[in-house]
Amino acid sequence: TWGEIREQLEKRLGKHNYTTWIEPLKLSVLKNGVAHFEVPTTFFGDWVSRNYGEHIRNHLNAAGAEISRVEFAVGAGAVAAKPMRTAAKPAPRASEKTAARSRLRDDDLPGAPLDARFTFDSFVVGKPNELAHAAARRVAEGGPVTFNPLFLYGGVGLGKTHLMHAIAHELQQRKPDLRVLYLSAEQFMYRFVQSLRDRSVMDFKEMFRSVDVLMVDDVQFIAGKDSTQEEFFHTFNALVDQNKQIVISADRAPGEIKDLEERIKSRLQCGLVVDLHPTDYELRLGILQQKAEFYRDQYKGLVIAPGVLEFLAHRISTNVRVLEGALTRLFAFASLVGREITLDLTQDCLADILRASDRKVTIEEIQRKVAEHYNIRLSDMIGPKRLRNIARPRQVAMYLAKQLTPRSLPEIGRRFGGRDHTTIMHGVRKIEELMATDSQLADDLQLLRRLLQG
Ligand code: ADP
Ligand code: MG
Least distant ligand from the CA of 159: 1
Enter the CATH code of domain 281-356: 1.10.8.60
| Cβ-proximal residues to 7 (8 Å cutoff; 6+ apart), any chain | none
- The pLDDT tens digits for 245-302 are 999 999 999 998 989 999 999 999 999 999 999 898 899 999 999 999 988 888 887 8
Assess whether the C-beta atom of 103 lies below 6 angstroms from ligand 1. no
> Which phi and psi (to 5°) does residue 270 adopt?
-70, -25
* Mean pLDDT of the 383-398 span: 94
Question: For ligand 1, what atom is nearest to the CA of residue 162?
Answer: 6
Asked if the model's pLDDT at residue 392 lies above 90, the reply is yes
Assess whether the C-beta atom of 86 lies below 6 angstroms from ligand 1. no
If you count them, how many residues does the chain have?
A: 454
* Mean pLDDT of the 45-66 span: 84
Asked if the model's pLDDT at residue 404 lies above 70, the reply is yes
Assess whether the C-beta atom of 415 lies below 6 angstroms from ligand 1. no
- The pLDDT tens digits for 326-357 are 999 999 889 888 899 999 999 999 988 887 76
Closest to 388 in 3D by CA, of 445, 325, 448, 434: 434
Q: For domain 2-74, give the fold.
A: GMP Synthetase; Chain A, domain 3 (3.30.300)
| Cβ-proximal residues to 254 (8 Å cutoff; 6+ apart), any chain | 151, 153, 260, 265, 266, 268, 269, 273
| Cβ-proximal residues to 109 (8 Å cutoff; 6+ apart), any chain | 179, 181, 207, 211
Confidence of residue 96 (pLDDT cuts 50, 70, 90): very low
Least distant ligand from the CA of 152: 1
Atom 19 of ligand 1, residue of closest alpha carbon: 159
pLDDT (0 to 100) of residue 159: 96
Assess whether the C-beta atom of 252 lies below 6 angstroms from ligand 1. no
The answer to whether 22 touches 52, Cβ cutoff 8 Å, is yes
Confidence of residue 390 (pLDDT cuts 50, 70, 90): very high
Least distant ligand from the CA of 220: 2
- At 88, which amino acid appears? A
Q: What is the DSSP string of 149-162?
A: SEEEEESTTSSHHH
H helices then E strands: how many in the chain? Answer: 21, 8
Domains of the chain by residue range: 2-74, 94-276, 281-356, 363-453
Asked if the model's pLDDT at residue 406 lies above 90, the reply is no
What is the distance in A from the centroid of ligand 2 to the CA of 164? 9
Please count the CA atoms within 13 angstroms of the CA of 23 that sit on its side-chain side. 18
Asked if the model's pLDDT at residue 396 lies above 80, the reply is yes
* Mean pLDDT of the 39-59 span: 81
Assess whether the C-beta atom of 156 lies below 6 angstroms from ligand 1. yes
Enter the CATH code of domain 363-453: 1.10.1750.10
pLDDT (0 to 100) of residue 21: 82
Closest to 412 in 3D by CA, of 422, 311, 89: 422
- The pLDDT tens digits for 97-150 are 333 333 333 455 677 888 999 999 999 999 999 999 999 999 999 989 999 999
The preferred substitution site among 114, 125, 162 for testing ligand 1, maximizing ligand atoms within 8 Å of CB, is 162
- Residues forming the annotated binding site for ATP? 157, 159-161
Asked if the model's pLDDT at residue 33 lies above 50, the reply is yes
- The pLDDT tens digits for 172-183 are 999 999 999 999
Q: Choose between 407 and 98: higher pLDDT.
A: 407
Confidence of residue 82 (pLDDT cuts 50, 70, 90): very low
What is the distance in A from the centroid of ligand 2 to the CA of 113? 13
What is the distance in A from the centroid of ligand 2 to the CA of 158? 8
What is the distance in A from the centroid of ligand 2 to the CA of 121? 18
CATH superfamily of 94-276: P-loop containing nucleotide triphosphate hydrolases (3.40.50.300)
Confidence of residue 1 (pLDDT cuts 50, 70, 90): confident
| Cβ-proximal residues to 322 (8 Å cutoff; 6+ apart), any chain | 157, 316, 353, 357
Atom 26 of ligand 1, residue of closest alpha carbon: 123
Ramachandran area for residue 159 (φ above 0: left; ψ -120 to 50: alpha; else beta): left
CA distance 78 to 182: 22
